[in-house]
C-alpha cells in the first residue's frame, strides 16, 4: 500500500503552483480529483505551448500525472451539489485561486464543516486570504521581484534578474503540500479540520532566511555578487575555466586548506590575508582574482578531477540537457516515463519525495472530465438518470467530444487507473 493511498484530495487548481503541490501527493498514492472549471475549458495549463495538442500539453502532463479529472462548475447549483457530495467523502479541498476567491466560492472550512467536520481546506494564493493585497493576483515572476529575490540575482553591474525556474511557485507548492499533510494529521487525530492559508508572498519572504536576519539585526545590506558568490563565504561561487565554468565551495576551513594544496598554492592556506573566513571575506576581491587566474589555465574537467580527488566540494555548471544526462540522474531514477495517446512515450522528471522502498507508479495526466464515470458513479453512487440530468444542466459545461459522459445508455467507467 502506498503511503497516501487512503487520502482523497479535491483539487480546484490550475497552471503551476497548485498542481505542483498535489502532484507529489498523487505520486505518493493520494487520489487527487481535479475539479476543472468548464467555463474556462479546464486547467489553463492544458493550453501552454510548445508541445501542445488540443486540450493537452507537456506542461500539463508535468504537473498532473497520476490525477483524475472532473469538469464541474461549482458556481452552478447543480455543480455545487455534486461538489458538496464529494466533500463528504474527501479529506482535503485544495485550491490555488486569488486570495479573495475561496470566500466567494464558499470553499473555506466554515463553509464546508457542516458537510464534513474533518475536512481540510488549503488555499494557496498569491498573497493569502488576509491583508491589503489579498484580492490581487500573484505570479512567480512578480513575487520574485516583490520579495527581493531579483535584487539579489545577477551580476552587480547588471539588471535585477529572475531565476531561470519558477522557484516561488514550486516552493509555495511544497509549502502547501506540507500544510495539507500537517492539517490532515491533526484532523485525523482530533476529528476537526480547518483552513491552511498559504501564500506565495509569505513563502518568498520566508526564503530570505539569513540575509533577512542579518539585515534586520545589523547593518548588513544584501546585494548581488560577482559570479554568483556567496554573500559571506569565500570562495563559494562559479569560476571560468579554459573552456567552461565550474562551482567551487569552501563552507568549512578544511576545504580551503585542501583547495590551496590542490591548486599548488599551499602557502595560501596560512597567508594572513586568507587564513580564515573573516580574512577571506575582507580580501575577497583579491582572492577571487587570484583564483580566477588559476582556474583559467586549464579545462573544467581537469579542475573537477583535481578538486574532487582532493575532497573539495565542486561541480560543473551544466546545461539542462547535461543535467538530465548526468549518470547520477539515472541512478536516482529521476526521469520517468508515461504513455500518452498523442505524445507517445512522455519522459519527465520524477518527484524527489521518497518514502519507503516501494517505487512510485506513474500514469499520464487525465483528459478533461475523463474520470466522470468513476467519480459520479463508483465514488458517489449516482445512477444513470441523475448523471444524465446533470449532463443536461450546466454542471459539466462543454466537455471534449472524445470523452464519454455516462448516461442511461452508457455504463460507468471503471475505477482502474487509465494508462
pLDDT tens-digit readout, 39-96 = 999 999 999 999 999 999 999 999 999 999 999 999 999 999 999 999 999 999 999 9
Please tell me the predicted confidence (pLDDT) of residue 232.
Answer: 92
Q: Are 8-205+334-392 and 226-240+245-316 the same fold in CATH?
A: no
Q: Which of 226, 227, 230, 340 is catalytic?
A: 230
190 sits in the region (left: phi over 0; alpha: psi -120 to 50; else beta) called alpha
Q: Predicted confidence band at 359 (pLDDT cuts at 50, 70, 90)?
A: confident
Compare 362 and 419 and report the one with higher pLDDT. Answer: 362
Please tell me the predicted confidence (pLDDT) of residue 402.
Answer: 53
Q: Predicted confidence band at 416 (pLDDT cuts at 50, 70, 90)?
A: very low
Please tell me the predicted confidence (pLDDT) of residue 114.
Answer: 98
Q: Predicted confidence band at 360 (pLDDT cuts at 50, 70, 90)?
A: confident
- For residues 79 and 109, the answer to whether their CB atoms sit within 8 Å is no
pLDDT(401) > 80? no
Please tell me the predicted confidence (pLDDT) of residue 1.
Answer: 86
Dump pLDDT digits (tens) for 11-25: 999 999 999 999 999
Please tell me the predicted confidence (pLDDT) of residue 408.
Answer: 34
Is the backbone peptide bond immediately before 257 cis, with ω within 30 degrees of 0?
Answer: no
Please tell me the predicted confidence (pLDDT) of residue 397.
Answer: 86
Fold of 226-240+245-316: formyl-coa transferase, domain 3 (3.30.1540)
- Look up residue 266 and give its three cell numbers: 599551499
Compare 292 and 402 and report the one with higher pLDDT. Answer: 292
Pick from 103, 108, 92: nearest CA to 33? 92
Please tell me the predicted confidence (pLDDT) of residue 153.
Answer: 96
Lowest mean pLDDT among 157-171, 212-226, 291-305, 388-402: 388-402
What is the length of the chain?
419
Distance, CA of 43 to CA of 153 (rounded, Å): 31
226 is catalytic: no
Please tell me the predicted confidence (pLDDT) of residue 293.
Answer: 97
CA 376, chain centre distance (Å): 30
Please tell me the predicted confidence (pLDDT) of residue 394.
Answer: 86
Compare 164 and 402 and report the one with higher pLDDT. Answer: 164
Domain 8-205+334-392: CATH architecture, name and number where available: 3-Layer(aba) Sandwich (3.40)
Q: List helix spans (H) across 153-208.
A: 167-190, 200-206
Residue burial 327-366, b: 16+ Cβ < 10 Å; e: rest:
eeeeeeebebebebeebeebeeebbeeeeeeeebebebbb
Pick from 51, 60, 63: nearest CA to 25? 63
Burial class (CB in 10 A: 0-12, 13-18, 19+), 249: middle
Q: What are phi and psi of 345, to 5 degrees?
A: -75, 120
Please tell me the predicted confidence (pLDDT) of residue 350.
Answer: 95
Please tell me the predicted confidence (pLDDT) of residue 403.
Answer: 52
Q: Predicted confidence band at 412 (pLDDT cuts at 50, 70, 90)?
A: very low
pLDDT(418) > 70? no
Return the percentage of the chain with pLDDT > 70, whole number. Answer: 95
- For residues 299 and 242, the answer to whether their CB atoms sit within 8 Å is yes
Distance, CA of 272 to CA of 130 (rounded, Å): 53
Please tell me the predicted confidence (pLDDT) of residue 349.
Answer: 96
Please tell me the predicted confidence (pLDDT) of residue 410.
Answer: 37
Domain ranges of the chain: 8-205+334-392, 226-240+245-316
Is the backbone peptide bond immediately before 324 cis, with ω within 30 degrees of 0?
Answer: no
Q: Cell 580527488 appears where?
A: 309
Q: Predicted confidence band at 404 (pLDDT cuts at 50, 70, 90)?
A: low
The rounded mean pLDDT for the chain is: 93
Task: Calculate mean pLDDT across residues 105-129.
Answer: 98
pLDDT(414) > 80? no
Amino acid at each position: 500500500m502506498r503511503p497516501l493511498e487512503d487520502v482523497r484530495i479535491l483539487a480546484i487548481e490550475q497552471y503551476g503552483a497548485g498542481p505542483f503541490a498535489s502532484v507529489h501527493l498523487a505520486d505518493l498514492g493520494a487520489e487527487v480529483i481535479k475539479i476543472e472549471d468548464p467555463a474556462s475549458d479546464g486547467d489553463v495549463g492544458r493550453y501552454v505551448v510548445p508541445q501542445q495538442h488540443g486540450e493537452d500539453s507537456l506542461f500539463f502532463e508535468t504537473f498532473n500525472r497520476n490525477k483524475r479529472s472532473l469538469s464541474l462548475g461549482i458556481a452552478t447549483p447543480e455543480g455545487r451539489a455534486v461538489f458538496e457530495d464529494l466533500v463528504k467523502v474527501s479529506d482535503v479541498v485544495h485550491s490555488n485561486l486569488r486570495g479573495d476567491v475561496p470566500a466567494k466560492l464558499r470553499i473555506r472550512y466554515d463553509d464546508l464543516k457542516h458537510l464534513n467536520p474533518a475536512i481540510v481546506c488549503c488555499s494557496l494564493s498569491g498573497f493569502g486570504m488576509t491583508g491589503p493585497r489579498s484580492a490581487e493576483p500573484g505570479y512567480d515572476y512578480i513575487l520574485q521581484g516583490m520579495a527581493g529575490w531579483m535584487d539579489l540575482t545577477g551580476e552587480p553591474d547588471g539588471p535585477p534578474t529572475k531565476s531561470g525556474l519558477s522557484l516561488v511557485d514550486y516552493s509555495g507548492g511544497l509549502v502547501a503540500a506540507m500544510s495539507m499533510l500537517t492539517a490532515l494529521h491533526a484532523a485525523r487525530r482530533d476529528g476537526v479540520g480547518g483552513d491552511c492559508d498559504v501564500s506565495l508572498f509569505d513563502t518568498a519572504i520566508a526564503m530570505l532566511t539569513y540575509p533577512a536576519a542579518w539585515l534586520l539585526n545589523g547593518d548588513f545590506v544584501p546585494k548581488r555578487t560577482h559570479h554568483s558568490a556567496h554573500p559571506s563565504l569565500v570562495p563559494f561561487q562559479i569560476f571560468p575555466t579554459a573552456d567552461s565554468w565550474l562551482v567551487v565551495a569552501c563552507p568549512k576551513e578544511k576545504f580551503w586548506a585542501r583547495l590551496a594544496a590542490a591548486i599548488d598554492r599551499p602557502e595560501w592556506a596560512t597567508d594572513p590575508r586568507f587564513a580564515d573566513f573573516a580574512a577571506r571575506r575582507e580580501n575577497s576581491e583579491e582572492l577571487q582574482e587570484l583564483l580566477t587566474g588559476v582556474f583559467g589555465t586549464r579545462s573544467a574537467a581537469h579542475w573537477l578531477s583535481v578538486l574532487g580527488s582532493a575532497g573539495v566540494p565542486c561541480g560543473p555548471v551544466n546545461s539542462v540537457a547535461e543535467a538530465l544526462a548526468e549518470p547520477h540522474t539515472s541512478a536516482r531514477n529521476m526521469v520517468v516515463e508515461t504513455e500518452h495517446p498523442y505524445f507517445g512515450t512522455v519522459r519527465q522528471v520524477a518527484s524527489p519525495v521518497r518514502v519507503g522502498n516501494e517505487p512510485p507508479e506513474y500514469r499520464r495526466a487525465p483528459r478533461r472530465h475523463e474520470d466522470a464515470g468513476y467519480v459520479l458513479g463508483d465514488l458517489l453512487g449516482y445512477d444513470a438518470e441523475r448523471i444524465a440530468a446533470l449532463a443536461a444542466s450546466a454542471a459539466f459545461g462543454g466537455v471534449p467530444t472524445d470523452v464519454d459522459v455516462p448516461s442511461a445508455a452508457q455504463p460507468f467507467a471503471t475505477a482502474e487507473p487509465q494508462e
